[in-house]
Amino acid sequence: MRIGFIGLGIMGSRMAANLIKAGHELVVYNRTPNKAEPLVALGAQLAGSPEEVGQACRLLFTMLATPEAVEEIANGPQGFLKALPGNSLWVDCSTVNPSFTLKMAKLAQKIGHRFIDAPVAGSLVPAEKGELLFLVGGDVTDVSEVQELFDIMGRATVHVGPVGQGTSMKMVNNTLLAQAMVAFAEALRLGTSLGISEEMLCQTLLNGPTAAPFLKLKEAKLLHKDFSPEFPLEWMHKDLHLAGVTAYEQAVALPSLHTTKEIYAQAKQSGLGEADFSAVYQLFSTNKTV
Ligand SMILES: NC(=O)c1ccc[n+]([C@@H]2O[C@H](COP(=O)([O-])OP(=O)(O)OC[C@H]3O[C@@H](n4cnc5c(N)ncnc54)[C@H](OP(=O)(O)O)[C@@H]3O)[C@@H](O)[C@H]2O)c1
């Protein structure tokens, strides 16, 4: 079966490549078309619009930056939703907020399509290796229809619950991820101010129980001040904004989340938006590269 894939950034390009390498036929689209070139070289067919992708398949993945991008691509003037044949399945892997996911699911269902939210945990390297963790919301039968594809792109799938629950779990996950990164950056700053080297701090803290396990993956970036993007900081800021919107909708108070969001806003404002989110350390470090 031909599969549509829209959004060929850091994550989508690698996820789509793994599907092609596993033998699937893909029709792809990206707002900036030249990012599709490596996939076309692997055998993908490049569509000129999201609508063209919709016309060419009945199973379609999106991996886009923001809710606004998802809405435009799905339901804009050249959106794919109206072009898909009836009873198609749309799998949105973008990190968006739960209420937006429910809105998209309703829109798809109104037109006669099925919808799964399947955001991912894991960054550039897991995406490349096919080792992502899929956090999924949707009907059991719909999820089982695409399980084989999740297995190609990921190491595990957690079917959290009905539509919206994958996105909900992702919001929770990134709330923790963002705060753990800032907490570690502050700890490094305190330690270096007391005369302990960054190397000694990393070696001690990252091999003990207090630091979040993912921070080990950021050690080289922190020590070498190489903040080439795996997970762009601007998207972490976006996720915290969306988590804040969700907290408001749910009437829950998350003061630490909001403070953390503003720390990432400061980092973005100081020109670090396109760097990896671990570059938030640059706000605290005395040994800056920017
Ligand atoms: N990188 C990670 O580690 C990671 C991990 C888990 C989840 N995520 C989430 O996965 C999603 C994609 O992230 P990424 O890292 O792959 O980001 P990225 O490299 O910046 O790619 C973003 C994609 O969205 C497209 N896009 C952005 N605005 C658009 C618009 N207004 N209209 C149409 N297309 C638009 C981009 O098209 P252009 O190429 O034309 O800009 C690109 O295809 C985000 O929701 C992110 O939060 C990322």
pLDDT tens column, 201-210: 999 999 999 9
CA of 63 to the centre of ligand 1 (A): 6
CA of 31 to the centre of ligand 1 (A): 11
Q: What is the pLDDT of residue 287?
A: 61
- Percent of the chain scored above 70 by pLDDT? 99
Question: Closest by alpha carbon to 91, among 79, 104, 72?
Answer: 104
The residue assigned the tokens 């408001």 is 248
CA of 99 to the centre of ligand 1 (A): 19
Query: For ligand 1, is residue 232 a contact (CB within 6 Å)?
Result: yes
Band (7; pLDDT cuts 50, 70, 90): very high
Q: Which of 82, 103, 110, 170 is catalytic?
A: 170
Q: What is the pLDDT of residue 286?
A: 74
Chain segment 90-132, per-residue pLDDT in tens: 999 999 999 999 999 999 999 999 999 999 999 999 999 999 9
CA of 176 to the centre of ligand 1 (A): 21
Query: For ligand 1, is residue 241 a contact (CB within 6 Å)?
Result: no
Query: For ligand 1, is residue 30 a contact (CB within 6 Å)?
Result: yes
Question: Closest by alpha carbon to 86, among 114, 107, 115, 51?
Answer: 114
pLDDT of residue 200 exceeding 90, the answer is: yes
Chain segment 10-52, per-residue pLDDT in tens: 999 999 999 999 999 999 999 999 999 999 999 999 999 999 9
Q: What is the pTM of this model?
A: 0.96
C-alpha torsion angle, residues 230, 271, 245, 170 (rounded to 10)? 10
Q: What is the pLDDT of residue 147?
A: 98
CB 119 within 8 A of CB 9: no
Query: For ligand 1, is residue 72 a contact (CB within 6 Å)?
Result: yes
Chain segment 174-199, per-residue pLDDT in tens: 999 999 999 999 999 999 999 999 99
pLDDT of residue 288 exceeding 60, the answer is: no
pLDDT of residue 290 exceeding 50, the answer is: no
The residue nearest atom 2 of ligand 1, judged by CA position, is 231
Query: For ligand 1, is residue 32 a contact (CB within 6 Å)?
Result: yes
Q: What is the pLDDT of residue 256?
A: 98
Query: For ligand 1, is residue 35 a contact (CB within 6 Å)?
Result: yes
**What is the C-alpha separation between 227 and 224, in angstroms, rounded?**
8
**What is the C-alpha separation between 155 and 133, in angstroms, rounded?**
6
CA of 8 to the centre of ligand 1 (A): 7
C-alpha torsion angle, residues 63, 65, 66, 69 (rounded to 10)? -70
**Active-site residue flag, 170:** yes
Band (1; pLDDT cuts 50, 70, 90): confident
Most informative mutation of 28, 39, 63 for ligand 1 (most atoms within 8 A of CB): 63
